[in-house]
Amino acid sequence: MIELKNVTCLYGRRPAVHHVSGRFEPGSMTAIVGPNGAGKTTLLRTIAGLHRDFEGQVIRNGRIGLLPQTPSLDKAFPITSAEVVAMGGIAGLGIFAAAPAPARVSEALQSVGLAGFERRLAGTLSAGQFQRLLFARLMVQDAPVMLLDEPFAAVDARTTADLMRLLHRWHGEGRTIVAVLHDLDLVAREFPSTLLLARDKIAWDRTAAALSAEHRLRARLVAEAWADDPALCQDAPRLDAA
């Protein structure tokens, strides 16, 4: 379970996400959608514990696995696909954690359609293959909560379909899935629940209700009213206050 209590994500005291409350239930599968600049990635990073400039409470139960929008992996570095996946097995467990067994790494690669790619350099993979590799790395983390930021960006329809099947498999295993997405047709078709964000929470409900025409219009109107330099959040105390 992940619960947000009056969460405001800040950059300096300027809000990127404003007073959001709600709960991702255990075993739920939720999309986070909204206009560009709505704070979707910032909220996801806050849930993961990577964005620390926020007010309110984020309550987490269980380990969290994260697939970031921009992975911190230099494709020019000579690292094999198996080594990239193995890195996921020790993520968050400390430098002395044991690497996953080669058989487990190979199983993860096979699950994402990269059987036999163990020795292939990560930098030689296509965009779709590389995204499959990142899913394999996430898989070996074996976390009960999985956060994904734009997991289908810049990949073809077949890759999206294959990886979507993998998400449904994880969901069927009882994992909590939270994904930032832009494709509303995909969200409507595949995700039971949706958080529609426009810095403020517009709707957080079953997907059909959250993506109603009324809610989407409100999100668009809110986004059109945004200032380039948003006002300071008056409800957020200064972090350096005594």
- Domain positions in the chain: 64-143
pLDDT exceeding 70 applies to what percent of the chain?
88
Q: How many CB atoms lie within 10 A of CB 148?
A: 24
| pTM attached to this predicted model | 0.88
Q: Rounded to the nearest 10 degrees, how much is the dihedral formed by the CA atoms of 50, 55, 60, 66?
A: -20
Q: Which two tokens stand for residue 139?
A: 């898989």
- pLDDT tens column, 98-135: 677 889 999 999 999 999 999 999 999 999 999 999 99
- pLDDT tens column, 40-65: 999 999 999 999 999 999 999 888 99
Q: How many CB atoms lie within 10 A of CB 122?
A: 24
pLDDT higher than 80, residue 92: no
